[in-house]
Structure 1
Amino acid sequence: MPDIVWSVAGFIVAISVLVCFHEFGHYWVARTLGVKVLRFSLGFGTPFKTFVARDGVEWSIAPLPIGGYVKMLDEREGPVAPHERHLAFNNQSLAKRAAIVAAGPVFNFMLAIALYWLVFVIGTEGLKPLIAQPPAGSVAASAGLQAGDEIVAVDGEVVQTWAVLGTDLIERVLDGGNLPLTVQSKGGVPREVSLDVSKVRVDPEVLFDDLGLSPYEPMAPPVLTQILKGSPAEAAGLQEGDRVLSLDGAAINSPSQLVSWVRAHPGAIAEIEIDRGGERSKRRVVLETTQTEGKAYGRLGSGVATPPDLWQDLRAERRLDSLAAIPAAAEQTWRMSWLTLRMLGRMVIGDVSVKNVSGPIQIAQVAGDSARVGLVSFLSFMAIVSVSLGVLNLLPVPVLDGGHLLLFAIEGVKGRPLSERAMAASQYLGFAFIGTLMVLAFYNDIMRLI
């Protein structure tokens, strides 16, 4: 299946489920509290499918799957018959209106817990948190960490895979100070190591570079895959299955070494030594130069891999029984929610680059990639996005659920709603914020594609 089909299908499925849950939260609580619901729409635009239920609620599907809405009876949006005034949203108590508005984000968090529960019960596979040789001068190198060391615990909390370790490290770097690790060398006894993370940048783009931590790779010549037409690799006569042994005399012992060498030599004329079917040969390759954010990088024009059996001893699995998975899923949802909020705060003060903001294009790509990997990967992706939707919708920005809750809080303090003029002004500000955020997200998406 083509990549674009995976991306579009994954995006539509994920967003449809997440939006449905969010809006169903508003719908269910509104109906439970006695508010009349007129329409439940999945997507925006002119509906292409509409169904009117026996209770009079209009269910519709619209062509733009980037959101949805629940329309309730409200005197501010149209005339309401006298006998139905008690069913209108605007005539409900402050507590009921707040509950209806908050239900959307709450249902997103509930969905995230359910998704994480499934992930933990099914089980997740990943790489053991073994590290590659830290670069000289890095925080990890200064602490004495070596290639092949396994990080078995962070501040006393056991870690089983690199994915778990990555989240733990980001959280602890945000705290600053010293980071205690429990490390074990192959065949050795665990030892305690402390990393000074006070000067480590919290931006995920550079955080792991500053720490000097990256996954360990088995020592094995990389194997070329997917030779692109018109690429330097094709011009040099390279073929899929060729094992790269060296570049300009420098031994290449892993895919990352090959990638790093090529990227560091834009436009270079290099001698590449390969093994093809047991026969060694040398070829001349002229690397291309590509530009990314103003920096020049080399390009060979091929994929790279290692024999899959080399990774068997580095795999780890995390699986919980159905009962143990409940508190674990709730804790994971809370941790990801708090981490998302903290990263947004650091983005506001400039510690984290706004380049980390992703839009529909990037989300679709990640959705497609996770769907191709498998069910657990796709469920994990949906859980993360559901958490993000819950957190973002609770931000105190007019037009978002959090903005409505803020206005309700002001109403509670003042004893009356804001004036129509103030409400309109807040709406304009909210739309301006959302519009600016969407432009930034699309810009970042396009720049990543370029």
Structure 2
Amino acid sequence: MLFTLLAFALALGVLITFHELGHYWVARRCGVRVLRFSVGFGKVLARRVDRHGTEWAISAIPLGGYVKMLDDAPPNASAAEGNEAFNRKSLWRRSAIVLAGPVANLVLAVLLYTALGLLGSNEPAAILAAPPANSMAAQAGFQAGDRITAINQEEVQSWSEARWSLLDVLTSGGEVSVQVDTATGLSRERLLRLTAGTIEPDGSDLMAEAGLNLAMPRPLVNQINPGGAGEQAGLRSGDIIVALGSLKDPSAGTVVAEVQKNPGKTLPITVLRDAVPVTLTVIPRAEAAASGAQVGRIGVMLGADFPMVTVRYGVLDSLGRGISRTVDTAWFSLKMMWRMVLGDVSLRNVSGPVTIADYAGQTARLGLSAYIGFLALISVSIGVLNLLPIPMLDGGHLMYYVLEAVRGKPVPDKWLENGQRIGLGLLAGLMGLAFFNDFSRLFS
């Protein structure tokens, strides 16, 4: 729990502080006086005032930060001091300052996705299992052992890249061209026609619904107990089991089950050793299980053999992919929001801080790459959310500035007051829904 809370606090601290840095950086360049930049909220623990008169503070609650600007000049201010007030700035300068926060989050996402491409990650290759009969994948001609290499002419290296490239069409429906290398080494193009999938937080996997499943890993001999039946049969560490008894291409689970139900019986076993098939004979030893029944054991520890690929790109490719991934994620988020408004997507997909904290802890435990990917995704979400035309958000202020540009003068104070009430109500309702969904998932 503590680890999850720390991962969540770090994520919010980084993402919101970067958002506020965007506002600060543009405000300073537009000549606005910034009174305070605080990392965290609540009681100030440490502070320093720079030569521009900005107080840099570290506060007690490390869940983000804020920028306090000079909104209106005091009555006795000089002309120079008055010009440092935010409300004295031109429309385009005020708009740039407000827009800078969400843009900073999108820029951060680009940098994080770029870093992922440069760091690289070890991921499963996109090799498919046999699709279920009559599934959309089967109708498109996919076969066991097909390895996805490109989707709509865009290169795909791993299973996670394939899932991301297909996400939009899986949710919206349509046609997609998938280039594969078959199990026999031939290059083929499959035209996959997909119907729009139903998106639910606890719903089925849309890839699996389409018939696209990752091939099961083959059982790999990791360790052999000295003197055991496996060692006597001639098994070696690194052998890949491809047949046992009557089983062909078994999984690790079926190998264990076959051994356990055949104590004292002779079983032929075929393994791949340095890519060469080797057939041996193993006789499982009869041993007493916890239930008292006799089961067979061969004294080996099994692991999983699955082709892995290192996904890594150069600087320019990483930057290009970072920009593309950020744009695609932002656009996908907007599409999902609109589909929620239309009722095509369940409101149960709205997540709040409890779910986000849980994901922060999970990804941090998986490793640096997973956590960076999580930070990039949430950074895009913060940027997109803040651009929505809801009063109290950055997008709401921009909406007012658009109205000011159309009218040729600022909007009336009454509009601002009513907008604040509406915005507060909308945000309160959204947060209530998010918390309801969070706790529903927590206790269901």
Query: Structure 1, residues 129-181: CA drift from partner, whole Å, max 9, x if none?
Result: 12233333321133232333222221222211111111111123355322221
Q: Per-residue displacement from partner, 1:401-421 (whole Å, max 9, x unpaired)?
A: 111111100110011111111
Deviations 1:361-409 (A, max 9, x none): 2222222222222222221111111111111111111111111111100
Percent of aligned pairs with the same amino acid: 40
Deviation at 1:107, TM superposition (A): 1.0
* Alignment of 1:176 onto 2:173: yes
Q: Secondary structure at the match of 2:40?
A: strand
1:240 — aligned with what? Answer: none
Distance 1:115 1:280, change over 3 A: farther
SS in 1 for 2:83: helix
Kindly name which structure, 1 or 2, has the bigger radius of gyration based on alpha carbons: 2
Task: Give the Cα separation in 1 of the matches to 2:335 and 2:381.
Answer: 12
Q: CA deviation at 1:80?
A: 7.0
Name which of 312, 316, 333 aligns with 2:309.
Answer: 316
Q: Tell me if 1:357 matches 2:320.
A: no
3-state SS, counterpart of residue 97 of structure 1: helix
Alpha-carbon displacement from aligned partner over 1:194-240 (angstroms, at most 9, x marks no partner): 222135446684432431222221244999xxxxxxxxxxxxxxxxx
Q: Equivalent residue for 1:118?
A: 115
The aligned residue for residue 2 of structure 2 is 5
The Cα offsets for residues 30-79 of structure 1, whole Å up to 9 and x where unpaired, read as 01110011111233333344433343212233344444321111129x76
Task: Return the alpha-carbon distance in structure 2 between the equivalents of residues 99 and 410 of structure 1.
Answer: 16
Task: Tell me how far apart the structure 1 counterparts of residues 253 and 11 of structure 2 sit (CA, whole Å).
Answer: 32
Pick the aligned partner of 1:56 from 53, 58, 62.
Answer: 53
Task: Name the residue aligned to 1:298.
Answer: none
Q: Which residue identity does 1:447 align to in structure 2?
A: S
Counterpart code for 1:355? R
The 1:27–1:256 alpha-carbon spacing in structure 2 relative to 1, beyond 3 Å, is farther
The answer to whether 1:427 aligns with 2:420 is yes
Instruction: Give TM-score scaled by structure 2 length.
Output: 0.78
In 2, Cα distance between equivalents of 1:189 and 1:252: 22
Aligned 8 A contact 2:181 2:187 in 1: yes
Paired residue total = 387
Instruction: Determine which of 32, 42, 46 is the counterpart of 1:35.
Output: 32
Q: Which residue does the alignment assign to 1:215? A: 214
Given that 1:117 and 1:325 are in contact with CA atoms closer than 8 Å, whether structure 2 keeps it comes out as: yes
Query: CA separation of 1:419/1:280 partners in 2, compared to 1, >3 Å: closer, same or farther?
Result: farther
Residue identity in the other structure for 2:3: W
- Which residue of 64, 69, 73 maps to 1:72? 69
* 2:374 corresponds to: 381
C-alpha displacement of 1:275:
10
* Cα 1:251/1:282, change in 2 over 3 Å: farther
Contact 1:134 1:146 in 2 (8 A): yes
Q: Which residue of 1 aligns with 2:277?
A: none
What is the aligned partner in structure 2 of residue 81 from structure 1? 77
Report matched runs for 1:96-111 at 5 Å.
96-111=93-108
d(CA) in 2 for partners of 1:85, 1:220:
74
SS of the residue aligned with 1:418?
A: coil
| Deviation digits for residues 82-133 of structure 1 (CA, Å, limit 9, x no counterpart) | 4422111011100000000000111111111111121111112211112233
Check conservation: 1:222, 1:253, Cα contact below 8 A: no
C-alpha spacing 1:93/1:448, structure 2 compared with 1 (3 Å)? same
Cα pair 2:39 2:57 within 8 Å, conserved: yes
- Matched ranges for 1:270-285 at <5 A: none
Q: Distance in 2 between matches of 1:320 and 1:378?
A: 19
Partner of 1:243 in structure 2? none
C-alpha distance in structure 2 between counterparts of 1:275 and 1:419, whole Å: 85
Structure 2 partner of 1:136: 133
The answer to whether 1:337 aligns with 2:336 is no
Question: Would you say 1:95 and 2:92 are equivalent positions?
Answer: yes
Q: Which secondary structure does the structure 2 equivalent of 1:324 belong to?
A: helix
Q: Aligned partners of 1:414, 1:327: CA distance in 2, in Å?
A: 40
1:261 aligns to what?
none
CA distance in 2, matches of 1:278, 1:38: 78
1:366 and 1:279 map into 2 onto residues whose CA distance is: 45
Counterpart Cα distance in 2 of 1:195 and 1:256? 32
1:197 and 1:32, CA in 2 relative to 1: closer, same or farther beyond 3 A? same
What runs of 5+ residues in structure 1 fail to find an aligned partner? 224-249, 258-271, 285-305
1:348 aligns with 2:344: no
1:444 equivalent to 2:437? Answer yes
Amino acid at match of 1:160: Q
| Paired residues of 1:201 and 1:210 also in contact (CA < 8 A) | no
Whole-angstrom CA distance in 2 between matches of 1:275 and 1:394: 65
Correspondence for 1:390 among 362, 366, 383: 383
Residue deviations 1:411-437, cap 9 Å, x none? 100111111111011111111111122
- Rounded to whole Å, the distance in 2 between the matches of 1:202 and 1:360 is 20
Distance 1:355 1:85 in 2: 48
Structure-to-structure mapping, 1:144-159, within 5 angstroms = 144-159=141-156
Question: What's the counterpart of residue 293 of structure 1?
Answer: none
Q: Secondary structure at the match of 1:398?
A: coil
| Mapped contact 1:73–1:80 kept (Cα < 8 A) | no
Two-structure CA RMSD over aligned residues (Å) = 3.4
- 149-158 or 196-205: bigger deviation: 196-205
Residue 417 of structure 1: aligned partner: 410
Task: Give 3-state SS (helix, strand or coil) of 2:398's partner.
Answer: helix
Structure 2 residue identity aligned to 1:109: L
Contact 1:218-1:254 at 8 Å conserved across structures: yes
Determine helix, strand or coil for the equivalent of 1:46.
strand
**SS of residue paired to 2:305:** helix
Whole-angstrom distance in 2 between the partners of 1:181 and 1:281: 51
Give runs of aligned pairs for residues 159-308 of structure 1, distance below 5 A: 159-174=156-171, 176-201=173-198, 205-206=203-204, 207-220=206-219, 254=251, 307-308=302-303
CA distance in 2, matches of 1:150, 1:173: 19
Deviations 1:313-349 (A, max 9, x none): x211211122332222222221222122222222222
**2:194 & 2:288 partners in 1: Cα distance?**
46
The answer to whether the 8 Å contact 2:24/2:67 transfers is yes
Counterpart CA distance in 1 for 2:131 and 2:110 is 36
Alpha-carbon separation, structure 1, partners of 2:412 and 2:18: 32
